Amino acid sequence: MDILFTLDTSFMLASLKMLLLLAGITWFVSLIIEDVSIVDYIWSLLTLLAVSTYAFLSGINNPVSLVMLLMVSIWAVRLTWFLVKRGRNKPEDRRYQVIRKRNSPNFGYKSLYLIFVFQALVAWVLSTIFVPVFTAGADQASSTVWSVWHSIGVAMWLFGFIYESVADHQLHYFNSRVVKESSTLSSGLWRYSRHPNYFGEFCIWWAWFIYAIPTGSAWILLAPLVMTYLLLKFSGVGNMEQGITDRRPDYQAYIDSTNTFFPWKPRRKVIDS
């Protein structure tokens, strides 16, 4: 019962300090360049920083914790690299422009807690899924030995990672084209879901849940549930599609024909982009 509901508070406090430090540094940079969009660049790095802290404090002494660190590192570096590539030489993202307008004047200072500290706290909460993996001790010896749960978790993570990477590449290539037949991408993975990149992210976090099942900790369920809510309701699908039909006249037809989140065959033929 103790293992089920216990998290190592010293690990959690150590990672919180590191996350707030990175968030504070990034906030200071955002004041200089007057663009809070850069918080997106550190989103996955916040998670990697938390996991690296846990790995450092516990030591990498078994293949289970080593593979977890590798999965998070590959995911974080790839996502950050893609976001930087996509956002370079562009103005502040429209989502943050809306927040800036809503919280002016003195938004620059308010953004410290509204955006940067908030992101750090979310990443900190999500990092609870990793703590049991790195703090498994003698009383959890079975969780440090490779099992079928770990193999399933890695396989699902690899699927989600590839799915998200391909979806991101397809959208970036589409948006970089000078001449487009449509303002909405409706081919490739985007033919079967309006948000295949988010679906890939969804798979990644549930894969980490499966990977952490041998720890026997109830805390590993918190992160995938929170991430699912974020992707579907808060910062993901709901936020991205708000007012989108006003900006893209052909998007309503895309909505009518294409599943929102989980991939499935189109309800009717869509026009290839």
7-32 confidence digits (pLDDT tens): 778 999 999 999 999 999 999 999 99
Q: What is the pLDDT of residues 157-209, one digit of tens each?
A: 999 999 999 999 999 999 887 656 668 888 999 999 999 999 999 999 999 99
**Residue 3: per-residue pLDDT:** 56
Q: Distance (Å, rounded) from C-alpha 117 to C-alpha 259?
A: 34
Provide the residue range defining the domain that includes 92: 1-146
- The mean pLDDT of the chain is 89
Q: Distance (Å, rounded) from C-alpha 271 to C-alpha 205?
A: 32
Q: Distance (Å, rounded) from C-alpha 71 to C-alpha 167?
A: 19
Same structural domain, 108 and 157: no
Buried b (16+ CB within 10 A) or exposed e, 114-137: bbbbebbbbbbebbbbbbbbbbbe
- Residue 33, pLDDT > 50, answer yes
Same structural domain, 76 and 185: no
Same structural domain, 251 and 208: yes
CB 136 within 8 Å of CB 143: yes
CA 25 to chain centre: 20
Instruction: Say which residue, 9 or 127, is predicted with more confidence.
Output: 127
**Residue 1: per-residue pLDDT:** 44
Same structural domain, 162 and 230: yes
State how many domains the chain has: 2
Same structural domain, 48 and 142: yes
Domain end among 122, 146, 170: 146
Other C-beta atoms within 10 Å of 100: how many? 19
Same structural domain, 224 and 266: yes
Give the residue among 223, 222, 203, 208 at the shortest CA–CA distance from 263.
203
Q: Annotate 230-252 with DSSP letters as a single string.
A: IIIIISSHHHHTTTHHHH-TTHH
CA 237 to chain centre: 13
State if pTM tops 0.85.
yes
Same structural domain, 142 and 16: yes
Same structural domain, 110 and 207: no
CB 160 within 8 Å of CB 201: yes
Domain end among 146, 170, 203: 146
Domain end among 104, 121, 146: 146
**Residue 228: per-residue pLDDT:** 95
- Work out the average pLDDT over 69-98: 91
- Residue 107, pLDDT > 70, answer yes
Same structural domain, 152 and 244: yes
Q: Distance (Å, rounded) from C-alpha 160 to C-alpha 189?
A: 13
Same structural domain, 214 and 257: yes
Same structural domain, 1 and 82: yes
